[in-house]
Structure formats: C-alpha cells, structure tokens
Homo-oligomer: A and B are copies of this chain.
Amino acid sequence: MARIAYIENMKEWSDSFHFAHSVSVRFSETDMFGHLNNTVPFTYFEEARIEYLKAISFMADWLNPEHDRIPVVADLQCDFLAQVYFGEELLIHVKAHSIGNSSVDIHYKGTRQDDTIVFTGRGTIVQISRHTGKPVFWSEQQKNKLEAEKLQHAAHACSAG
C-alpha cells in the first residue's frame, strides 16, 4: 500500500470513522477494463458526504434557495487501493477531519463487506455566499456541531484501538 499524505497512521485513521453510507456499484459505472471506472468514487464521496451533512443537520440550510450560504468543494482526492467490480456493495465512511473558519476537511474511506479498504480520499468544502462567492464563517452553532463530530471520531479511534 502506497503512503498516503493525509493518513499518518492507517489503523488509527481507519478506526476513527463513525458514519457510513452504503452504495452498490452500477453496471453503467464500470468501464471496458471490466472494473469500476476511476471517476466514479468521487460521485460516491459526494453522495456519502451529503448524507453525512444531513445527519449533522447542515444540508437543510444549504439547499434552501432563499438562503445565501452554500458549500463548494475546494479540492478532492482519491487513492485507489483495490479494484472494484460490478455489483459490489461498498460502505463509504465519512468524517470531519479538521475545521477551519469557513471550511472543513472531510475524509473518506470506501470498504468492502469484509472491511477491506478499496479506496481512501479527502477534500475541503468551504461555505460561501451564493451572491458574493466569498467564504462565510461558520456560525457558532455550525462550529459546535463540527467540533462535536471531531470528538466522536477521537472517541471511536480510542475505543477501537
């Protein structure tokens, strides 16, 4: 397994997730090499990230077209550790890894049912104003929710360790 810059200790990192969303690999998501096309995990990341953000009550505000705040993705990356095939059921694990003033670095782990990690990833999302395009600081309430998430990840990593 290649060294991955955003993962210091794979076991600790892997144990710290406590949210996961399930996806099945679609036939249309394979390519002529017979496996999952490498552009597709980013779609899984988006789907799982939104489920995670719903679970911590961030989405309702962002999806309201009358509200000014929306999230944008600043960067995204994925490391492919194992080939994935049609029909596989994957769990996409999501966590808030570190928190900025108007941004959050989100980490992803894709696993098979036997817990093999098939890909890992990360990416920063930034809260911006729909109208100005400028970053908007987290509210106290938003920041508290994200901090509570981080504590839970730490607790998970400890109890699993």
Contact = CB atoms under 8 A, between A and B. Distances in A.
Interface residues of A, number: 37
Contact of A31 (B28, B42, B75): B28
B83 A133 contact: yes
Interface in A100-158: 133
A46 B39 contact: yes
Interface of A: 2, 4-5, 24, 26-28, 30-35, 37-39, 42-43, 46-47, 50, 63, 65, 70, 72-80, 83, 86-87, 133
Closest 10 CB pairs of A and B: A77-B77, A30-B32, A39-B42, A38-B73, A75-B79, A32-B34, A28-B37, A39-B43, A30-B31, A26-B47
